[in-house]
Structure 1
Amino acid sequence: MKNFIAWRPLRRVSLLCLISAVSPAFAAYTQYAATAEERHDEMMTYFDDHIEPTIPDSLDTWWSYKYMLGDGYYRDDLAKEGITLSLKFVTDSMGNVSGGARQGFTYTGSMGFDMDADLERLVGIPGADFYVSAVWRSGVSLSNRYIHNVFQTQQVYGGQNLRLYAFYWRQELFEDQLEVKLGRIAQGDDFLSRPIYWSYVQNAFDGNPVSIFLNSPMYAYPNATWGAFFKYTPKQAPVYAQVGVYGGAKKPAQNRNSAHGLDWSFDYENIFIIGQAGWTPELTIGNQEGLPGNYSMGGYHVIDDHPTFLQPPTIAGLPKTVRKADGLWGMYWMVDQMVYSNGVNSSGNKTGITPWFTVSLAPDERVNKMPLSFYGGIRFDAVLPSRKDDFLALGYVYGKFSDDFRKSQVIAGLSPQNFESVVELTYMIQVNQWLTFQPDIQYIINPGAAGKFGDALVLGFQSSVQF
C-alpha cells in the first residue's frame, strides 16, 4: 500500500505526459508519412471534390504551412472524421525597467493540448461532442518576483505545472438552440469573457476581468471544476441567456499543483452559481451596416456563509468566535461594439475599430476584497491596410480594495491596500498562419496597491506557435 501511494504522483505525471505527447508526435507523423508529391496529390483530390481555389506555388514550403510541423493532411482527414487535435505554445517574456520593488526580467510559457471528438460523426450521436484539454506551464512571474503588484503582467502565469484541464461532454439540443456541458469545466470559459479580452498580455484583461477571482471561488484556464452549463440562443433574435452551477472552494485546493488537475473529488465547501444574458446585434452606424456588438450583464452567488474580514478579538480562556456573512455575490456588465469597419481578415471576420468596457461590482465589502473594478479599452484591427490580421490594442484597468479589508490589514499590522491600475499598449503581428509576435508595454500605477513602490514600466512581448 505504501508503495502504491508513493507511486501515485508519478502515475499522474505519466498520464499527463502521455496526453501531451500525443499531439506533437501525431503532427510530426502527418508531415513525414507521405512524400511532398503524395501530399500534393491528396490536397488536389480534396479540392477537386469540393471547390477549386487557387493553390499557391509555395504550398509545400515550411513557412506557408497552416501548422508549424506541417499542414498534415492526415490530421485534416482525421478532423473530417470527427477528431480535431491542437497543440499551441504561448510565451510571455517581460521585463520591469523601472519602479516596482526592483528591476528584472522573467519568462513564462504555456503549452496547451486540446482534443475535440465530434460524437455525431464518430458514433452517430446527434449534436454531441467530447472535449479533453491538458496544459503544461513553466516560468516565473515578473509581478511576484520583481514588481509585487496585484494585476499579473503575464497572462500565461498560473498553475506552473503539468495538469489535466477540461474534460466534459457537450450536447446541442432543439435545433442547436440549447447548449449543455457536463463534466470538468471552468466558469471562465463561458462567463465574464469576450474574444476582445484575448487581445491583451496583462492578466487583468486577458481571459476574464480578474477581480472576480479575488472575490469568489471561480475557476478559469488552466483550472477546472465539476459543473453543469446551459445556454439558450433562440434562432429568431440576437440574444442569449445562460446559467452554470459549479463546485466552489474545497480543502485541499483542487487546483493545487501537486494534484496535476486530477483531484476529482466532490467534497466542496460551497456551490458557485452564475448567470449571464446578452444582446449581440449587428448595428448600422453612419453608412456602415452589420457592425458586430455585444451587450451583456451577469451575476453570481456562492451558496455558503463566509468569515468576514473584521473578526472579534480573541479573549483568553474563551472559545474563539468567527463572525460570518451571507454568501458572496456580485454583478458585472460587458460592452464591446465595432464602430467602424475597414474590411475583413483572412478568416472572413470584419475588422475595424472596437471600443469596449467592463464594470464589476461586489457590494458586500465584509467578504469581497475588490468590490469595484473597471476595465476598458479600444482595439484597432488592420492599422496597416496590407496587414489584415494584425491589431493594435489599448487597455486600462482600475481596481479598488474594500474598506473592511483595509481595516483588517491595519489590525494585522500590514500596509493597507487602496487601489491599483494598469495601462497597456500592445500590437499583435500575425507573422504567418502558425506564428504570432506581440510587442507589449504596460505602465502599472501604485503597484501592490499600498503606496510602497513607485509606478512600474514593463516592456516585453508575447508570442505564440501553433504546432
Structure 2
Amino acid sequence: MRASSVSVIWLLLGAVSIGAPAFAAGNESGGKGDQQAQETSENPPAPPSPPSIASSLGGRGDTRSALERAGITYSFTYIGEGLGAVTGGLRKGTIYEGNLQGVLDADLDKLLGWSGASLHATFYQIHGRGLSRFYIGNLMPVSGIEALPSTRLYELWLEQKFAGDKVALRAGQLGADTEFLVSQYGTLFLNATFGWPAIAMIDLPSGGPSYPLATPGVRFKITPTDNLTILAAVFDGNPAGPGPGDPQRRNHTGLAFRTSDPAFLIGEIQYAYNQGKDAPGLPGTIKFGGWHHFGSFADQRYDIGGLPLADPRSSGLPNQLRGNDGLYAVIDQMVYRTSGTDQGIGAFARISASPSDRNLISFYADGGLTWKGMIPGREDDTFGLSFAYSRISNGARGFDQDINFFTDSARSVRTSEAVIEVTYQAQIVPGWTIQPDFQYVFRPGGNASNPRDPTGARIKDAAIFGLRTTIRY
C-alpha cells in the first residue's frame, strides 16, 4: 500500500456515503446516533447521555427543543483545571489550562429525509499552559486536555448505517481515540495516558489520530449480535504531516485535511457480556486489537551504515525501517454492584506492545479501579485509583548506553516511566462536577537526564496536585 492509498480509499468510500440516500431509503429503522439504539428486546437501550447543567438552570429552552425535533443537537463542555508540581520534575510550578468543546450532531433522516445518515462535528478552544510540557518532562502527560493554545476543528464526519443499524460506514476527519483502544472506566482519570495510551501517543507520527489532531479517514463498524462489535479504520498516517517542530503548530487549526501520507490501519474486536438488567452476572467488555502503519520509522540505535548512532564515525542518519505495528488488549469489568443501580466498583486493564528497534516505547500496561457511590448519600460521585507503566525499548536504552560508552560519561539510561493517580469526581449539580486529583510520576521521561541539570542527573520523581471542574451544557 503506497503513500497515496489513504486518499484513494477515502475518496472511494466517501463516494459510497454520498450516494447512500437511495440505497438507504428502505431502511425502516432510520438514522440513529451510536448512543440511540432501538429499545427492543433484541437491541437494548443505550446508556443515557451525560447530564447537562441546563436541567439545573430551569429547562432546555424552546429554541433548543425545536432544533432537537428537527434533528439537530448540540452541546458545550468546559473543562478547567489547576495543576501544580510540588516536588521533582524539571522544576516546581503551577498552571491553569482549559478546554471548551463544542459538539454538533445532525440526524439527517429527520432533517433531510436521508434514512440512516448522520453528521457530526467537534470543535475545541484550548487555552492555558501544560504542566507536563513546561514543568515535568514526562512521557504520559498529566492531563488529557493538555495541548498548545488554539481554536481548532477536531472531528467532522458523515456516517451511513445499513442493515437495521448493524453496519455503519463513517467517513471524514476522524479521531481514533474516540472508539479504539478505549477503556470505559479509564476515562475518569485526568492523566492523558488513560485515554489514548502513551505507547500510541509516542510511537505514531504526530501522536496518531488523537486529541488534539484528528485526520481524514474511513471507519467501518459491524455489530452482528448485541454482544459482538467489529471495528476497522484507515486514516492518513500523519495528522500534522512531516516537518520540524511541534506537530500541533504544523496543523494549528485542524484544517490540514492531509490524505497523502502513508496509511495507518487499526482494527478491533469487542465482546460485551452480561449487559442486560436480568443478566446472571456482572457486566464487562473485552477488546482485542492491532494496528499497522505503512510509513518509514527511524531505528532507535543504528545508522544507515549499521554503526551505532552514538559512534563518532556514524553518519548521524538513522537507518529507516519500513512499517510499524502494535497489538493490544483491553478489559472493563464491574466487580461489585449495588442492587438495582449503576453504582459499584469497576476494574479495567490494558496492555500493548510494539517493535523495540523503531519505537521509543515497546511495552505498555495500565489498570485501575473506580467506585461510583462509595460515600453514602453521594450516589453520583466516583472515586478512582489507577496505575500506568511505559517501558523504554531496548533500542532506545541501547542508544543511551552507547552514548555513555563513546563519550566516557555516566548520564542516565532511560528504562521506564510509571504513574499512579488517585482522584474523586464529585457532582455539584447534574452537569457540573469538580475533581480533586493527585498523581505521582516515577522516572519522568523514562528516567531521562534533566536538561536543566549540568551534571546530567535524571529528572526527579514528581508529585502533582490538581483540581478540575467540568461543566456540560
| Counterpart among 353, 356, 377 of residue 386 in structure 1 | 377
Residue aligning to 1:104: 93
Provide Cα deviations, 1:271-308, integer angstroms capped at 9, x if missing partner. 10011002100179xx9835221111100001133231
Q: Distance in 2 between matches of 1:144 and 1:195?
A: 27
| Larger RCO, structure (CA 8 Å, separation 6 or more) | 2
Q: Distance in 1 between matches of 2:396 and 2:313?
A: 28
**Structure 1 unaligned regions, length at least 5:** 1-62
The residue identity in structure 2 corresponding to 1:219 is: P
**Structure 1 pair 64/200, CA: closer, same or farther in 2 (3 Å)?**
closer
Q: Distance in 1 between matches of 2:106 and 2:73?
A: 7
Kindly indicate whether the alpha-carbon contact (under 8 Å) linking 1:160 and 1:257 is maintained by their aligned counterparts in 2.
no
Residue aligning to 1:226: 216
Shift, 1:455, TM fit: 2.0
1:166 counterpart = 2:155: yes
Residue aligning to 1:332: 328
**Structure 1 pair 259/326, CA: closer, same or farther in 2 (3 Å)?**
same
Q: Distance in 2 between matches of 1:317 and 1:106?
A: 44
Kindly indicate whether the alpha-carbon contact (under 8 Å) linking 2:53 and 2:471 is maintained by their aligned counterparts in 1.
no
**Comparing 240-249 and 316-325, the one that deviates more:** 316-325
**Comparing 399-408 and 275-284, the one that deviates more:** 275-284
Kindly indicate whether the alpha-carbon contact (under 8 Å) linking 1:398 and 1:419 is maintained by their aligned counterparts in 2.
yes
Shift, 1:190, TM fit: 1.3
Q: Distance in 2 between matches of 1:180 and 1:411?
A: 49
Provide Cα deviations, 1:344-383, integer angstroms capped at 9, x if missing partner. 66xxxx2211111000111x21111111111000011111
**Structure 1 pair 344/211, CA: closer, same or farther in 2 (3 Å)?**
farther
**Comparing 254-263 and 102-111, the one that deviates more:** 254-263
Residue aligning to 1:361: 353
**Structure 1 pair 278/200, CA: closer, same or farther in 2 (3 Å)?**
same
Residue aligning to 2:145: 156
Residue aligning to 2:386: 395
Provide Cα deviations, 1:114-162, integer angstroms capped at 9, x if missing partner. 1001101001111110111110111111122222222111111024211
Residue aligning to 2:63: 74
Shift, 1:427, TM fit: 0.5
Shift, 1:173, TM fit: 0.9
Residue aligning to 1:132: 121
Kindly indicate whether the alpha-carbon contact (under 8 Å) linking 2:159 and 2:169 is maintained by their aligned counterparts in 1.
yes
Kindly indicate whether the alpha-carbon contact (under 8 Å) linking 1:254 and 1:263 is maintained by their aligned counterparts in 2.
no
| Secondary structure, aligned partner of 1:112 | strand
Kindly indicate whether the alpha-carbon contact (under 8 Å) linking 1:213 and 1:219 is maintained by their aligned counterparts in 2.
no
Q: Percent identity?
A: 27
Taking structure 1 as the reference length, the TM-score comes to: 0.79
| Counterpart among 298, 305, 308 of residue 289 in structure 2 | 298
Provide Cα deviations, 1:48-106, integer angstroms capped at 9, x if missing partner. xxxxxxxxxxxxxxx97427696223212211210011111101211111222322111
Residue aligning to 2:5: none
The residue identity in structure 2 corresponding to 1:330 is: G
Residue aligning to 1:256: 249
| Counterpart among 275, 284, 298 of residue 307 in structure 1 | 298
Provide Cα deviations, 1:254-286, integer angstroms capped at 9, x if missing partner. 743654111124231x110011002100179xx
Shift, 1:242, TM fit: 1.0
Q: Distance in 2 between matches of 1:399 and 1:69?
A: 47
Kindly indicate whether the alpha-carbon contact (under 8 Å) linking 1:108 and 1:154 is maintained by their aligned counterparts in 2.
no
Provide Cα deviations, 1:416-465, integer angstroms capped at 9, x if missing partner. 32111011010001111221100101111122222613322111111111
Question: Which structure 2 residues correspond to residues 42-53 of structure 1 after superposition, within 5 A?
Answer: none
Question: Which structure 2 residues correspond to residues 310-459 of structure 1 after superposition, within 5 A?
Answer: 310-311=302-303, 312=305, 313=307, 323-343=319-339, 350-362=342-354, 364-411=355-402, 415-450=412-447, 452-459=458-465
Shift, 1:112, TM fit: 0.6
Kindly indicate whether the alpha-carbon contact (under 8 Å) linking 1:341 and 1:352 is maintained by their aligned counterparts in 2.
yes
Kindly indicate whether the alpha-carbon contact (under 8 Å) linking 2:139 and 2:446 is maintained by their aligned counterparts in 1.
yes
Q: Distance in 1 between matches of 2:95 and 2:173?
A: 31
Q: How many residues of Structure 1 are paired with residues of Structure 2 in the alignment? A: 396
Provide Cα deviations, 1:222-268, integer angstroms capped at 9, x if missing partner. 21111000111123x51111100110022248743654111124231
RMSD of the alignment, in Å? 2.7
Q: Distance in 2 between matches of 1:316 and 1:155?
A: 40
1:209 counterpart = 2:197: yes
| Secondary structure, aligned partner of 1:328 | strand
**Structure 2 unaligned regions, length at least 5:** 1-51, 405-410, 449-457
Q: Distance in 2 between matches of 1:159 and 1:343?
A: 45
Residue aligning to 2:19: none
